[in-house]
Chain A
Amino acid sequence: MKPSKGIYLFVLPALILYGIFVLYPAFYGLYISFTNWDGLSAGYDHVGLRNYRNLLTNDTIFAKSVANNLKFMLFVVIVQTALSLLFALFLVRNTKGNIALRTLYFLPTILASVSVAFIWAAMYDSNFGVIKAILGLFGVRNGPGWLADPDIAIYSVAFAQVWAHTGQLMIIFIAGLQAIPADLFEVAAIEGASKFQTFRFVTWPLIAPAAAIVIAYTTLQSFKAFELVFAMTRGGPNYATEIIATFIYRLAFQSYKFGYASAASMVFLVFVAVITVIQFKLLRTDRAGE
């Protein structure tokens, strides 16, 4: 039975809104990326591909921000996925204690990113922070400069991201684990499989779809961590925590270079799309090989 043409009327309002608030700004941003508009003035010049050329061949800060973003992404994806799976494995049974712990681990998810940033900036503070106080109990007087040391600052910020979202992803893994038929574990036990073998050959293949969702979601989330980075470090010290989003923000709203920032946004879009495609291909390959 062919759907009536009138059915399109039902999706039209959403499509119009999508066109106005997503497509139009995206295409306008593409147009502006070929200009030197400062975001304020009525006039500007068209500069062709100059913005893209400068960005990709001449901009050391952009290069640093890409490198930092990759470090941030890899840390968050690996640590967050591993931790959320570990918590899920320990809390999969629906006991009262487990449910209480799941709630506790989920709580940071409902905090705004800026709140998370302020909490962790205070905890990391080298003078009055609680981490310094705890280290002091163990005799450590001058601990690491969590946000001051350029070599570790990006990982300190990434850890705050992990803390904020592990609980949320743990729930996805728990749903995946609880969907595994119990008799598969019984069979594995009868066959004499060890706990590791059970995980390797029973659990992991069957939660692979959940893992794919977690990894993809975490990757995209790590590229959107603007508020956390900006509120904690504003990209410092010495660009050590500058990510692509904060780089674009500074260009557009502090340096008055909307055209150049738009070009960076377009490159960012392509960058995220490429990573997402690679990721989906890898995850599909993994599942095909089961």
Chain B
Amino acid sequence: MMLLLLALALVLSACGGGSGSKSSQNAAQSGGTSSSGQTSSGGGGGPDETVELSFMHWRTEDKEVFDQLIADFEARNPNIKVTQTIFPSSDYTSIAQQKLLDGSTGDVFTVFPGSQFEALLRAGLMEDLTGKPVVDRFVPNLITKGAKDGRQYALPYHLVYNMPLINVDIFEKLNLQRPRTWSQYLDVLETLKQNGYIPMAFPGADIGQGQLMNPMLMNENTDEEMFPKLMTGETKLTDEWFVSSLRKWQQLSQYFQPNSLGTGYEAAVTLFVTEQAAMLGTGSFHAALVLSQAPDMRLDMLPPITVEDESQIVYEGVHNTTFMLAINTKSKKKEAAEKFLEFLAEKETAEYYANNTGQLGVVQGLEYTSKSLQFETDFTKLNTRFLPRSTIPDKQIEDAITNAISAVISGMAPEEAAAEAQKIVDQVRNQ
């Protein structure tokens, strides 16, 4: 009997394999079957037919706001019912891909820019939105990370600045000016330390390295392809731009709270809102959370300027466009999904969402009334760079980079940490 079962399993495993060919990958890269101007097939729902739509995303903190928006949408479209399916951002990458494959979950879903976008695009899971009117509602130069080879597959809904938050009152009390060089930046941190503050609360146990690495690199190497070129060997992590960044991390880490690699973002936020720390090493996405606990705090953002001469500054900040909305090519309700996407892209909807969640938006013409969206510095007027981390082509390489930062924070020499990270890059290239 066991032999029979073994034989059955062997037969099934042989039959269950994929095509084993690359030809279906080429089809997948075209990103679905819709092309510009065509109406998506199916799932719009006739007048008497109720369509149940699944909206999959990772922002558990936005559930109530989306519930309200969904209620408005359903009032306008009585035959469409929308259900949110939410997975925490830390697990979203691993869970989303499986849920999308059979089309039952995530008719409309969100996707991270960078490696997840590329992977889902390769798998042909995102509908081609090129030419659809909804695309024109977004700020054109902020939706590029949802496009590939001139085709638009996803539309970012969040504009995020990945730079440390600062307590403006503490800075004013100590008469600290915005630093314009690395030495000045260290002087600011030293002054904070001398006055009894933790200069920067750094969540090294989870998101800290992945966030702060971006402004730490923005002026070290201004080539947008610095990370993609790792795969061809044109750049290496042992190059001076990366090692120099690690040296600065070594200096910066002296101004974090003790044992920063064991501090999660919740504890880091607590240090910041209780004014034990003057800065929070995360980004604008935490402004709403901070103000929910310290409503009177005045916030601004202060990216580390890592150049020694002000004339060398190219970028004055880092931004990211994320929470990218896409339609699942395997959805059987694409018409309804498009209606929901168009609804989310309406100015009134996007404004309501932004002002109630504290997330800056990418839809054109938004007006912000929420305090959490009003920083002392208007970064839209400055030259900010798109998040370098999102250009890293492989997750193992991204982990190698963030772990190199962790290694330096825990005392390893920058050159050694860079060399270990480059070994992993070489391994990935050989896989």
Contact = CB atoms under 8 A, between A and B. Distances in A.
A24 B122 contact: no
Interface of B: 1-2, 5-6, 8-10, 12-14, 16-25, 28, 90, 93-95, 97, 101, 115, 119-120, 122-125, 204-206, 257-264, 267, 270-271, 394-396, 399, 403-404, 406-407, 409-410, 412, 420, 423-424, 427, 430-431
Contact of A59 (B2, B94, B206, B427): B427
Given A42-B19, A43-B21, A250-B395, A148 B259 contact: yes
B13 A28 contact: yes
B125 A40 contact: yes
B13 A147 contact: no
Nearest to B12: A24
A237 B19 contact: no
B122 A147 contact: no
B119 A38 contact: yes
Interface string A6-34: 00100110011011000110111011100
A253 interface: yes
Nearest to B28: A41
A40 B267 contact: no
Interface of A: 8, 11-12, 15-16, 18-19, 23-24, 26-28, 30-32, 35, 37-46, 50-51, 54, 58-61, 121, 124-128, 142, 144-150, 153, 233-234, 236-239, 249-257, 260
Contacts of B10: 27
Contacts of A149: 259, 261-262, 410
Contacts of B399: 250
Contact of A236 (B28, B403, B420, B430): B403
Contact of A11 (B1, B24, B97): B1
Contact of A142 (B17, B204, B258, B409): B258
Contact of B270 (A45, A58, A127, A250): A127
Nearest to A12: B1
Contact of B24 (A42, A50, A236): A42
Given A148-B205, A254-B395, A27 B13 contact: yes
Most buried by B among A11, A18, A126, A257: A126
A14 to B, nearest CB: 11
Given A41-B25, A42-B28, A149-B259, A28 B427 contact: no
Given A58-B427, A128-B267, A238 B9 contact: no
B2 to A, nearest CB: 7
A43 B119 contact: no
A218 B403 CA distance: 30
A148 B260 contact: yes
Q: Which 3 A-B pairs have the closest CB atoms?
A: A253-B94, A148-B262, A40-B123
Nearest to A143: B259
Nearest to A43: B24
Nearest to A40: B123
Contact of A40 (B5, B95, B119, B262): B119
B25 to A, nearest CB: 5
B429 to A, nearest CB: 11
